[in-house]
Structure 1
Amino acid sequence: MIAGIDHFVLTVRSVEDSCAFYQRVLGLKRLDEPERPTALLFGSQKINLHEVSRTFEPKAKTPTPGSGDFCLVAARPLAEICASLEANGVAIEVGPVDRTGARGTMMSVYFRDPDGNLVEVSDYRE
């Protein structure tokens, strides 16, 4: 019945800070449209950003910055992701480590965004 994920929402303290972080560190593209949440595009998916003081309806029952925990699939080798994290002063909390994802085995690194969300980036290429 379900084919994939189109988008998910992160509640953030600052849309500007979050966009700057994800653009600089992971190369996501920013999309601003009138009367729509700012979005970060990657592949055929997106992350909608709701600023804590300006959320959109409908929304999560208790939208809270820093409560996200998600995994993104790398389009480049994990070594490049790690180099970008290091170059941007982002501490890797765990990894690279072996994990099992929806598509099988992968290598992952974990780090935090400006709001404290736990971001996992994984590489299925071996």
Structure 2
Amino acid sequence: MRKIQVQGVHHITLTGADRQTSIDFWEGVLGMPFIFDQPNLDDPDEGHLYFDPGDGRLITVFTNENRLPDRKRTPTDPGCVHHLAFNVSKATFSQAVERLEERGIGHSGPRDRGFMDSIYFKDPMGLLIELACYRFEPPVGCTHADVMIAAHRIRVASGDYNIQEKHLAEAIEDLVQRSQSSLSEDRSAKNPYA
């Protein structure tokens, strides 16, 4: 038996309301360029809109002019999507509350997640959306996942409840030491001011 190895998210498709509501939310609120549309190839009564969330991957939305937005929270039963999280910069995150409130969009307020900050709100169809902002940049040649797994191991070894910034800092230091060469024989911390 062998795995089917995936290499990233190709796209996520959501069921939307009408075409304009979808464009107004995904591009007009979240800034995702509307890159193309075509019919839903499995249902000729629906449109299929494509948006770029910022990494060249795709968020797509099935639309139907007979469907109306419904902001009631989408189901969170087993097997349902709980929320979608999108990466934002620190600069954008710091403006999120103000920009949501100027549109009258209710939100959770900023939430401290230890390794990131989050804010939650619903799209026009009731799907919970998270704006997430990492509190770190991975070292060159490493990914956020590399830092997270190293920070997790440090957290577990320390007996701490959740990943905190101190675990991230130690993980980054460890990854740099393992991935980047140095002419020094002793790379331990020193005090040149002593």
- TM-score normalised to structure 2 length: 0.50
2:125 is matched by which residue type in structure 1? D
User: What is the distance in 1 between the residues matched to 2:53 and 2:102?
Assistant: 21
Counterpart position of 1:57: none
Counterpart position of 1:123: 133
8 Å CA contact retained: 1:108, 1:123: yes
Q: State the 1:53 CA deviation.
A: 7.3
Tell me which of 117, 122, 125 is aligned to 1:107. Answer: 117
Tell me which of 26, 30, 39 is aligned to 2:50. Answer: 39
Q: Which has the higher strand share?
A: 1
Alignment root-mean-square deviation, CA: 2.5
Summarize the Cα distance change of 1:45–1:83 in structure 2 as closer, same or farther, 3 Å threshold. Answer: farther
User: What is the distance in 2 between the residues matched to 1:53 and 1:19?
Assistant: 13
The answer for unaligned runs of 5 or more in structure 1 is 55-64
Tell me which of 11, 21, 24 is aligned to 1:20. Answer: 24
The answer for unaligned runs of 5 or more in structure 2 is 41-47, 67-72, 76-80, 137-194
Tell me which of the two structures has the higher relative contact order, counting C-alpha pairs closer than 8 angstroms and 6 or more residues apart.
Answer: 1
Question: Where in structure 2 are the equivalents of 1:29-108 lying within 5 Å?
Answer: 29-35=33-39, 37-43=48-54, 44-51=56-63, 66=74, 68=81, 69-77=83-91, 78-92=93-107, 94-99=108-113, 105-108=115-118
- TM-score normalised to structure 1 length: 0.73
What's the secondary structure of 2:126's corresponding residue? coil
Map Cα deviations across residues 57-109 of structure 1 (whole Å, 9 max, x no partner).
xxxxxxxx9455211111453112222212222111x2311226xxxx11000
8 Å CA contact retained: 2:86, 2:130: yes
Structure 1 residue ranges (4+ consecutive) displaced by more than 3 angstroms after TM superposition: 33-36, 65-68
8 Å CA contact retained: 1:13, 1:115: yes
Counterpart position of 2:163: none
Q: State the 1:38 CA deviation.
A: 0.8
8 Å CA contact retained: 1:26, 1:81: no
